[in-house]
């Protein structure tokens, strides 16, 4: 397959993201015309004095839909980027934040915060718990799997699966306990299905901060990630301090995934499908792959969320359900048509 | 002459099993050294200990006069290039990208490849006759082409020392000769080149010095003419072989296992 030049592809993705975002803020249970969308945005940034729209239209657009779109964009960007980083780290195109248990750990943290009743009083509780649990899971997996500074990939993946299952079991336990209280159980259950509804600017800023901080660390390791794809011995012989890079990347991915899971629940397949597809288009080199993951991951989640809100309007589908329904068959198709490339050997 | 890479009293054990015992080696500029020995003699382990990829149980390594333990991985990679025996990856890099990775120890975090880097990569591609397929995917190459590409990556690292683990295995005879001649030429340009080799004839013919490793110890070392004898092959390789000294060097003809 011939590769696309990274520059034009990035530009294309960025334009696509902007268009999708513009459509997404106008569409929904209540339709706002394109001209009004532009006018509202213009007056919000102060370049327009007249207001050819209703105040409540501006409120819906600026305080309900825009934070939702921004949150979705950063969640998608972060999940795709950390997926790409973890795939290089484990030298496995099937690795994903879910695989090493980080997403399940983050999920358990968020549900624990809700169960303890902290979520109702403290805005930081869910993200704080999610990131802490994500990092704790990542480092627990790391500690269990590493032997004298070495980290056999098989052991790592298996301990990730084991700890992830434990976290999921504990999450279910907390959920069943929460069901005693109708409102708390309902909140937990809806959160677990994953979604972007009722996102505030606070949450948008939170996930923007975690995604940008983690991405900066991951992007600074782009060349080391390339070398790691060749194997640990090769990477080390090319001058990469493998244990240090691994620690740094696992920590950065935990911050990104913890932030994303806290605001939107577990959104499956973004970290798997987006990098995988982009690798086919731009190749495996991370200097091109990582920026593409940011842009197309963002566009993918914003697009899926738009589908959630418009397919059965005025009802809404859950985002996690849409990404999984699109991602799973597509991924299976890739798996069957390109068996060699996703082999686990 | 001070050696470029030197190991003194190196010992190593895997799970209590002794693999290297008190090994002294040194590699000097403009020298092609062949490391030979039967399977399990410790050749690959010795190369990895010399690179600091495996921790020596005892002994010390110095690179260009500095202790290995004082150098970061990056500093080691600026001085010593390594080509491991088996390399494979499910990720589809082009030949140019793969060879370009040899520049990694010389690049800054965000700095793009400079003129010197581009030149080093181009030179490596030319020397290994791989420039013609620089744009192809490494995964689509034949075994011989792929091996030359990996060699090009090691050359692009522009180090004073090159360590190679079985660079000619999986190659047909013509490609074996091509690779060993290339390495011989590199040693003549002033580098120290050390190769772990199974092929005794290649070792005898091209190496300036042969080190025979047997059961983790150095059994013999010196010029191929002095070291490779029928008696040594019988004792350490357990074969009956004819060794002929001709004009072109030493010729080893394996006859039968002992």
Which CATH number covers residue B237?
Answer: 3.40.50.300
* Tens digits of residue pLDDT in B77-136: 999 999 988 766 657 899 999 999 999 999 977 778 889 999 999 999 999 889 999 999
Label residue B183 by pLDDT band (50, 70, 90).
Answer: very high
In a domain, B113, yes or no: no
Whether pLDDT at B4 is above 90: yes
Answer whether A310's CB lies under 8 Å from A319's CB.
no
Pick the residue of B51, B68, B88, B92 with the most A CBs within 10 A to test the interface with A by mutation. Answer: B92
DSSP, res B104? G
DSSP, res B215? T
Q: Which tops the pLDDT comparison, B159 or A102?
A: B159
Q: How large is the average pLDDT for residues B132-151?
A: 88
- Helix/strand/coil for B98: helix
Give B39→chain A minimum CA distance, Å: 21
Burial of A34 (C-beta count, 10 Å sphere; 0-12/13-18/19+): exposed
**What does the domain layout of chain A look like in residue ranges?**
9-61+268-331, 85-192+207-266
Distance CA A270, CA A267 (A): 7
Answer whether A193's CB lies under 8 Å from A318's CB.
yes
Residue B42 CA, distance from chain mean position: 14
In a domain, B11, yes or no: yes
Give A230→chain B minimum CA distance, Å: 6
Asked whether the beta carbons of residue A236 and residue B84 sit closer than 8 angstroms, the reply is no
Contacts of B173 (CB under 8 A, 6+ apart): none
**Residues of B within an 8 Å Cβ radius of A:** 48, 51, 53, 72-78, 80-82, 84, 87-94, 97, 101-102, 104-105, 107, 109-110, 157
Asked whether the beta carbons of residue A239 and residue B104 sit closer than 8 angstroms, the reply is yes
Q: Which tops the pLDDT comparison, A268 or B212?
A: B212
Distance CA B59, CA A274 (A): 49
Asked whether the beta carbons of residue B91 and residue A240 sit closer than 8 angstroms, the reply is no
Q: Which tops the pLDDT comparison, B16 or B91?
A: B16
Smallest Cβ–Cβ distance between B87 and the set A224, A234, A340 belongs to A234
Whether pLDDT at B225 is above 70: yes
Q: Which of B251, B256, B258 is nearest to B235 (CA)?
A: B258
Look at residue A39 in the predicted model and tell me its pLDDT.
Answer: 87
Give A193→chain B minimum CA distance, Å: 33
Smallest Cβ–Cβ distance between B92 and the set A231, A241, A284 belongs to A284
In a domain, B120, yes or no: no
Residues of B in contact with A227 (CB under 8 A): 101, 104
Look at residue A218 in the predicted model and tell me its pLDDT.
Answer: 95
C-alpha to C-alpha distances, A46 to A39, A43, B180, nearest whole angstrom:
10, 5, 71
Whether pLDDT at B7 is above 60: yes
Structural element, H or E, at residue B6? strand B5-14
Pick the residue of B73, B111, B153 with the most A CBs within 10 A to test the interface with A by mutation. Answer: B73
Distance CA B51, CA B68 (A): 8
Residues of chain A with pLDDT under 50: 341-345
Q: Supply the DSSP string of B14-31, one letter for each residue.
A: ETTEEEEEEEEEEE-TTE
Asked whether the beta carbons of residue A241 and residue B91 sit closer than 8 angstroms, the reply is no
Return the HEC string of chain A. CCCCCHHHHHHHHHHHHHHHHHHHHHCCCCCCCHHHHHHHHHHHCCCCCCCCCCHHHHHHHHHHHHHHHHHHHHHHHHHHHHHHHHHHHCCCCCCCCCCCCHHHHHHHHHHHHHHCCCCCCCCCHHHHHHHHHHHHHHHHHHHHHCECCECCHHHHHHHHHHHHHHHHHHHHHHHHHHCCCHHHHHHHHHHHCCCCCCCCHHHHHHHHHHHHHHHHHHHCCHHHHHHHHCCHHHHHHCCCCHHHHHHHHHHHHHHHHHHHHHHHCCCCCHHHHHHHHHHHHHCCCHHHHHHHHHHHHHHHHHHHHHHHHHCCCCCCCCHHHHHHHHHHHHHHHHHHHCHHHHCCC
| Count of domains forming chain B | 1
Rounded-to-10 torsion of CA B101, B107, B113, B118: -60
Q: Which tops the pLDDT comparison, A170 or B140?
A: A170
Q: Which of A309, A314, A204, A221 is nearest to A264 (CA)?
A: A204
Look at residue B147 in the predicted model and tell me its pLDDT.
Answer: 87
Give B134→chain A minimum CA distance, Å: 14
Whether pLDDT at B184 is above 90: yes
Gyration radius of chain B's alpha carbons: 18
Give B209→chain A minimum CA distance, Å: 25
In a domain, B140, yes or no: no
Please count the other Cβ atoms lying within 10 Å of the Cβ belonging to residue B181. 11
Domain A85-192+207-266 carries which CATH code? 1.10.3470.10
Length of chain B: 258
Nearest C-alpha in A relative to B90: A341
Give A19→chain B minimum CA distance, Å: 31
Look at residue B87 in the predicted model and tell me its pLDDT.
Answer: 67
Smallest Cβ–Cβ distance between B97 and the set A240, A285, A340 belongs to A285
Look at residue A343 in the predicted model and tell me its pLDDT.
Answer: 41
Smallest Cβ–Cβ distance between B78 and the set A229, A233, A239 belongs to A239
Contacts of A279 (CB under 8 A, 6+ apart): A84, A93, A289, B91, B92
* Tens digits of residue pLDDT in A245-259: 988 998 899 889 999
- Least confident stretch, A111-120, B39-48, B147-156: A111-120
CA angle B86, B91, B96 (to 5 degrees): 85
């Amino acid at each position: 397959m011939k590769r696309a030049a990274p520059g034009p592809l990035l530009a294309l993705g960025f334009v696509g993201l902007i268009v999708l975002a513009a459509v997404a803020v106008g569409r929904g249970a209540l339709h706002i015309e394109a001209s009004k969308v532009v006018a509202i945005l213009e007056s919000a940034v102060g370049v327009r004095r007249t207001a050819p729209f209703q105040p409540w239209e501006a409120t819906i657009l600026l305080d309900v839909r825009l934070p939702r779109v921004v949150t979705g964009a950063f969640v998608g960007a972060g999940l795709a980027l950390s997926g790409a980083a973890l795939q290089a780290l484990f030298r496995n195109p099937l690795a994903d934040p879910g695989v090493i248990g980080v997403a399940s750990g983050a999920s358990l943290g968020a549900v624990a915060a809700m169960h303890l009743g902290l979520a109702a009083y403290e805005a930081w509780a869910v993200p704080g718990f999610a990131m802490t649990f994500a990092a704790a899971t990542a480092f627990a997996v790391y500690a269990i799997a590493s032997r004298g500074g070495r980290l056999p990939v098989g052991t790592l993946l298996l301990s990730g699966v084991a700890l992830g299952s434990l976290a999921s079991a504990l999450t279910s336990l907390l959920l069943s306990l929460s069901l005693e209280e109708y409102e708390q159980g309902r909140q937990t259950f809806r959160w677990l299905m994953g979604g972007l509804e009722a996102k505030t600017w606070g949450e948008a800023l939170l996930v923007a901060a975690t995604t940008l901080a983690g991405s900066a660390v991951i992007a600074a390791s782009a060349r080391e990630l390339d070398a790691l794809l060749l194997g640990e011995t090769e990477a080390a012989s090319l001058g990469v301090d493998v244990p240090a890079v691994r620690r740094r990347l696992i920590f950065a991915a935990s911050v990104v995934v913890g932030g994303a899971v806290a605001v939107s629940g577990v959104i499956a397949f973004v970290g798997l499908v987006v990098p995988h597809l982009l690798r086919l288009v731009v190749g495996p080199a991370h200097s091109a792959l990582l920026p593409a993951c940011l842009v197309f991951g963002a566009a993918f989640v914003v697009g899926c969320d738009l589908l959630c809100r418009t397919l059965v309007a005025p009802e809404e589908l859950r985002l996690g359900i849409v990404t999984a329904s699109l991602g799973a068959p597509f991924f299976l198709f890739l798996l069957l048509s390109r068996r060699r490339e996703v082999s686990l050997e | 002459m001070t050696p470029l890479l030197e190991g003194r009293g190196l010992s190593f054990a895997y799970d209590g099993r002794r693999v290297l015992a008190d090994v002294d080696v040194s590699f000097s500029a403009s020298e092609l050294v062949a490391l030979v020995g039967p399977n399990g003699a410790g050749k690959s382990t010795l190369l990895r200990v010399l690179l600091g990829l495996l921790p020596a149980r005892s002994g010390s390594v110095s690179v260009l006069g500095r202790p290995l333990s004082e150098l970061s991985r990056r500093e080691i990679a600026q001085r010593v290039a390594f080509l491991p025996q088996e390399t494979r990856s499910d990720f589809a890099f082009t030949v140019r990208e793969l060879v370009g990775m040899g520049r990694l120890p010389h690049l800054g975090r965000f700095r793009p490849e400079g003129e010197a880097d581009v030149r080093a990569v181009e030179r490596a591609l030319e020397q290994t006759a791989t420039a013609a397929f620089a744009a192809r995917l490494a995964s689509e190459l034949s075994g011989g082409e792929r091996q030359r590409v990996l060699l090009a990556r090691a050359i692009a690292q522009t180090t004073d020392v090159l360590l190679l683990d079985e660079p000619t295995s999986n190659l047909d005879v013509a490609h074996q000769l091509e690779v060993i001649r290339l390495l011989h030429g590199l040693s003549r340009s002033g580098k120290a080149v050390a190769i772990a080799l199974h092929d005794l004839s290649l070792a005898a013919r091209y190496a300036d010095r042969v080190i025979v490793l047997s059961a983790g110890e150095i059994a013999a070392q010196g010029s191929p003419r002095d070291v490779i004898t029928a008696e040594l092959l019988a004792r350490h390789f357990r074969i009956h072989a004819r060794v002929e000294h001709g004009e072109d060097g030493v010729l080893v003809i394996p006859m039968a296992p002992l």
